[in-house]
């Protein structure tokens, strides 16, 4: 049982969430870097965000460095900052929040829409995951069918070359300015159309429409909507319950109440 000291307001919210989840069947968790922050990884935007520093050492914005055009025009620069993200993932383990979401599958039909590219949801045991931005550990050649899953980038020469055709290798992640991959996008649309009894936005600033829209649709349908984020976002004044607290503690408390 979680023994975290929550504020009285948070305890009331947790009780209301528990009451609504007692009759729920399908639940969606939308997760961002704020969830993995409890595994020791930095966030991207918001409190302590990697993208809050402005220009990189090279004088370009981080969104430009981590973009599709930069991967094409200056792959060494793009890979430099991709490698920083992978280095932040290295050695990280699923935290209590990841595990709580996975364990809720014992009682609910749980789906996870994650912006994170760290693979921690799968390692925690979640089985219905939509990795909308990909996984930094999956590599593919930009020319031929070669692909590989790697544990980390420690043995990679950056930028890496394909062992089969010597073309540029890149990770299976969505860079700035690139289209979302069609398969996970179709999966998301299908599940949202089926509807959810509850939608949780956890540790994300919800700046992308496809991340905010499932929450907005659930709210319009009368489903439970919850935001777990220490900071304020465009969804904070819209959801049924806003909990300004760390994600891992809150998710573990929700799991414990449903046991």
* CATH number (domain holding residue 66): 3.30.1600.10
Examine the domain organization and report whether 159 and 246 are in the same domain.
Answer: no
Instruction: Look up the domain containing 17 and give its range.
Output: 1-40+94-133+178-259
Q: What's the pLDDT at 135?
A: 93
Extended beta strands in the chain, E state:
26-31, 109-114, 129-131, 134-141, 147-149, 169-173, 198-202, 224-228, 241-243
Examine the domain organization and report whether 83 and 57 are in the same domain.
Answer: yes
Examine the domain organization and report whether 200 and 104 are in the same domain.
Answer: yes
- pTM value surpassing 0.85: yes
93 catalytic? Reply is no
Q: What are the pLDDT tens digits along the chain (259 aa)?
A: 445 789 999 999 999 999 999 999 999 999 999 999 888 876 655 444 555 556 788 999 988 999 999 999 999 999 999 998 888 888 889 999 999 999 999 999 999 999 999 999 999 999 999 999 999 999 999 999 999 999 999 999 999 999 999 999 999 999 999 999 999 999 999 999 999 999 999 999 999 999 999 999 999 999 999 999 999 999 999 999 999 999 999 999 999 999 8
Examine the domain organization and report whether 189 and 145 are in the same domain.
Answer: no
Residues β-bridged to residue 176: 67
Examine the domain organization and report whether 233 and 164 are in the same domain.
Answer: no
Length, in residues, of the chain: 259
Q: Are 104 and 110 in contact (CB under 8 A)?
A: yes
Examine the domain organization and report whether 46 and 113 are in the same domain.
Answer: no
From the list 133, 137, 147, 245, the catalytic residue is 133
Q: What's the pLDDT at 181?
A: 92
How far is the C-alpha of 210 from the C-alpha of 110, rounded, in Å? Answer: 19
Examine the domain organization and report whether 128 and 239 are in the same domain.
Answer: yes
Q: What's the pLDDT at 24?
A: 98
Examine the domain organization and report whether 116 and 241 are in the same domain.
Answer: yes
Examine the domain organization and report whether 149 and 216 are in the same domain.
Answer: no
Examine the domain organization and report whether 101 and 71 are in the same domain.
Answer: no
Q: Are 242 and 35 in contact (CB under 8 A)?
A: no
Q: What's the pLDDT at 48?
A: 45
Last residue of a domain, one of 149, 173, 197: 173
Examine the domain organization and report whether 79 and 121 are in the same domain.
Answer: no
Q: What's the pLDDT at 47?
A: 40
Examine the domain organization and report whether 79 and 3 are in the same domain.
Answer: no
Q: What's the pLDDT at 46?
A: 46
Q: What's the pLDDT at 137?
A: 93
**Domain count within the chain:** 2
Q: What's the pLDDT at 242?
A: 98
CATH number for the domain including 199?
A: 3.40.50.1220
Last residue of a domain, one of 173, 198, 222: 173
Last residue of a domain, one of 120, 149, 173: 173
Query: Sign of the C-alpha dihedral, residues 202, 195, 128, 208?
Result: negative
């Amino acid at each position: 049982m979680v023994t975290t000291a929550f504020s009285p307001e948070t305890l009331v919210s947790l009780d209301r969430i528990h009451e609504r989840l007692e009759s729920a069947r399908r639940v969606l968790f939308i997760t961002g870097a704020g969830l993995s922050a409890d595994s020791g990884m930095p966030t991207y935007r918001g409190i302590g965000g990697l993208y809050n520093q402005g220009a990189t050492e090279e004088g370009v914005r981080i969104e430009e460095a981590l973009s599709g055009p930069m991967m094409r025009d200056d792959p060494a620069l793009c890979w430099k900052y991709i490698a920083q993200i992978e280095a932040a993932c290295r050695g990280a383990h699923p935290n209590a929040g990841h595990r709580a979401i996975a364990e809720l599958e014992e009682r609910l039909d749980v789906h996870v829409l994650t912006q994170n590219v760290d693979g921690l949801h799968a390692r925690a045991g979640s089985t219905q995951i939509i990795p909308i931005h990909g996984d930094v550990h999956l590599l593919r050649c930009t020319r031929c069918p070669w692909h590989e899953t790697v544990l980390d980038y420690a043995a990679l020469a950056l930028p890496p070359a394909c062992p089969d055709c010597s073309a540029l290798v890149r990770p299976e992640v969505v860079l700035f300015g690139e289209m979302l991959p069609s398969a996970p996008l179709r999966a998301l649309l299908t599940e949202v159309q089926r509807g959810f009894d509850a939608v949780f936005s956890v540790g994300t600033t919800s700046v992308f429409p496809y991340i905010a829209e499932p929450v907005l649709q659930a709210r319009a349908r009368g489903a439970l909507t919850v935001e777990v984020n220490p900071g304020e976002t465009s969804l904070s004044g819209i959801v049924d319950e806003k909990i300004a607290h760390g994600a891992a503690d809150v998710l573990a408390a929700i799991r414990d109440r449903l046991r």
